[in-house]
Structure 1
Amino acid sequence: MQRSLRVLRPIVVHGTTVSRRKIAAASFSTSLLFDETQIRDVDLWKAMGDFDLHGLTAPAEYGGLDVGYLYHCLATEEISRASASVGFSYVCHSNVCINQLVRHGNVAQKERYLPKLISGEHVGALSMSEPNAGSDPVGMKCKAERVDGGYVLNGNKMWCSNGGIADTLCKDSSSSGSSVRLSWIEDCVGAILVAAERATQVALQAIQCLGGNRYMNEYPTGRFLRDAKLYEIAAGTSEIRRMLIGRQLFREQ
């Protein structure tokens, strides 16, 4: 991946030198929202940054608004009304990447990475899943081993959300807070389980009701189904969520 990024040399557009990575980022963020029948000349990621959506939980000193998780949830909900896939990608960027840097990064890391992530100039990514560990983060084998000057990461990762164009990557390893992530899942799993499965059912009924056209890419209904189904899989499958709910119920008895 690093070798491919190094060849993205700047080009000139309308007399202005523009990074090829910026152009790729614009195409990436726009393609999440618009299908083949719509216009693709909007840099959605940067527009969201201009609207202060990326830094809702980040301190003002780094360009954020620091208004908290409620506003972040509201922003995610409204973005997802237009496209749940954009909403998912937005959460990976603004919460899993930016917010984790805010909570766990040192001052030098925050000063280096946060301003461009918050402005939308850079795209943040998450790398958690592994060939044998996805919904079960405790089973991750990738390790961060401390060495002089930093860490060496040993292991394999897959399904890197936003990874195709990301400038900054947050990676989960067996030494970096799996218990924290599991406690968050146990708090929210019930709501996610119900919402995801209901969304999938509604999307399926919409396709059935509206007929063959709604199965084609010319109409958004198929995308609605794909987006809804993703929330039954990503961040823990429905089966894993039921297991966590059962575990919590037994603890309370």
Structure 2
Amino acid sequence: MMTKEHELLRETVRHFSEKEIKPFAREIDETEGFRSEIFKKIGELGLLGVTVPSQYGGGDMDVLGATIVMEEFGRVCASTALSYLAHSILCVHNLHANGNEFQKKKYLPDLCSGKKLGAMGMTEPGYGSDAIGLETKAIKEGKFYHLTGRKMFITNGTVAQTFVIYARTGKEREVSSFIVEKDFPGFSVGKKLSKLGMRGSPTSELILEDCRVPEENLLGKLHQGLPQMKKTLDVERITISGISLGIAQAALEDSLAYAKDRKQFKTPIIEFQLVQKMLADMYTWLQAARTLTYEAARLSATGKPLSAMASACKVFSAEIATQASLHAIQILGGYGYCKDYNVERYLRDAKLMEIGAGTSEVQRIIIAKELSKLGLH
């Protein structure tokens, strides 16, 4: 499953993350800051389009490679990892998977280099888990589509220049996707949201008021947005699991180091059986989640049904990241509850993993429906 290319990729991204991201992670969180210079450096590594062919400036890697990058970024700064996911998967991968050659040549080089950042607009103020119920509409007039509606909780909303936007183009299930540029007439960015966690990943509302989109910016075929959305969400759920793995890895690393160093009753607390149980559980969860996620990434290249596995790795990785972070705080005690240590940030960041890209409840519904339809395979 893991090739030499994957191992080299992990080594490269680990080194980059330790040097270029980790020193700023706490400041990014506390100031709700976004460091565009980090993304330009990621672009220099060829990773802003990690799954895109090199002819467009991409990294030429598979879904497992993208997941490894998410994992390594998530280990040091989940906020940076989340913004990276929104750019590299929800926008860039989506555009490459569904765009025509003209669109790829026009948009991918700037997105892969970091000259421009990307995002995706699917969720709406009244429609989150019920993505099919979206109200944003696109009406064709001459050589333009006119988009009207609002998008909510959009990662990179305030910093992106290129958006993939989903809008209704006909009846209930007739949805299409469009490439929307920030400077298009009728497009604006709403309020930046202040969040519990992932504070360095900017989240905002998008406002489309009779936004004029050229007909050539229809992404894929008319009315085929829902199948495109489903495929993109499967890849998103696998790769976002990498962020959960990174958080869980960091929580375990910090807990292990602290337990070896901290003494109570003249004994390192790692010698206490209840601390040992927490560490052992964290390790077991992490290894199980990583194996499940990597298997889902491998499956994505086979053409076999993917949704159940994508949802399974997403829900399991997200929930063990939250629990591992809780264990880390418990092991560090009072220090774990203070901002002088990173574990409280891990918990705040991890909780989003149970909400974003489809809640844990929705993932379980998807798994059950897929089992009912396809059985075990």
Q: Do the two structures share a fold, i.e. TM-score over 0.5?
A: yes
Matched, 1:243 2:362: no
Of the three residues 297, 320, 327, the one matched with 1:198 is 320
Q: In the aligned structure 2, how far is the partner of 1:150 from the partner of 1:57?
A: 30
Identify the structure with bigger relative contact order (alpha carbons < 8 Å, sequence gap 6+): 2
Of the three residues 226, 236, 241, the one matched with 1:178 is 226
- Counterpart of 2:353 in structure 1 is 231
Matched, 1:59 2:59: no
> How far apart are 1:30 and its partner, in Å?
6.8
Q: In the aligned structure 1, how far is the partner of 2:89 from the partner of 2:23?
A: 18
1:1-253 matched pairs, under 5 angstroms: 34-36=25-27, 43-174=37-168, 175-176=175-176, 177-182=225-230, 184=234, 186-187=307-308, 188-252=310-374
| 1:100-125 alpha-carbon deviations (Å, 9 max, x no partner) | 11122233332332112101122111
> How far apart are 1:203 and its partner, in Å?
0.4
| 1:123-148 alpha-carbon deviations (Å, 9 max, x no partner) | 11121111121122112121233332
| Residue pair 1:145, 1:151 contacting (<8 A) in 2 also | yes
TM value normalised by structure 1: 0.79
Q: In the aligned structure 2, how far is the partner of 1:101 from the partner of 1:122?
A: 14
- Cα gap change, 1:104 to 1:252, in 2 (>3 Å): closer
Q: In the aligned structure 2, how far is the partner of 1:151 from the partner of 1:30?
A: 40
Residue identity in the other structure for 1:138: I
Larger Rg: 2
Aligned length: 224
Q: In the aligned structure 2, how far is the partner of 1:60 from the partner of 1:150?
A: 32
**Structure 2 unaligned regions, length at least 5:** 1-19, 169-174, 177-224, 238-306
Identity of aligned residues (%): 38
Q: In the aligned structure 1, how far is the partner of 2:373 from the partner of 2:23?
A: 41
Residue identity in the other structure for 2:229: R
**Structure 1 unaligned regions, length at least 5:** 1-28
| 1:64-121 alpha-carbon deviations (Å, 9 max, x no partner) | 2323222212222222121222222111101111111112223333233211210112
| Residue pair 1:33, 1:85 contacting (<8 A) in 2 also | no
| Residue pair 1:123, 1:168 contacting (<8 A) in 2 also | yes
TM value normalised by structure 2: 0.54
Q: Between Structure 1 and Structure 2, which shows a larger proportion of strand residues? A: 2
- Cα gap change, 1:123 to 1:33, in 2 (>3 Å): farther
- Cα gap change, 1:213 to 1:90, in 2 (>3 Å): same
Q: In the aligned structure 1, how far is the partner of 2:54 from the partner of 2:313?
A: 31
The alignment partner of 2:152 has SS state of coil
Residue identity in the other structure for 1:229: K
| Residue pair 1:126, 1:160 contacting (<8 A) in 2 also | yes
Measured on the aligned residues, the alpha-carbon RMSD in Å equals 2.6
Q: In the aligned structure 1, how far is the partner of 2:329 from the partner of 2:346?
A: 10
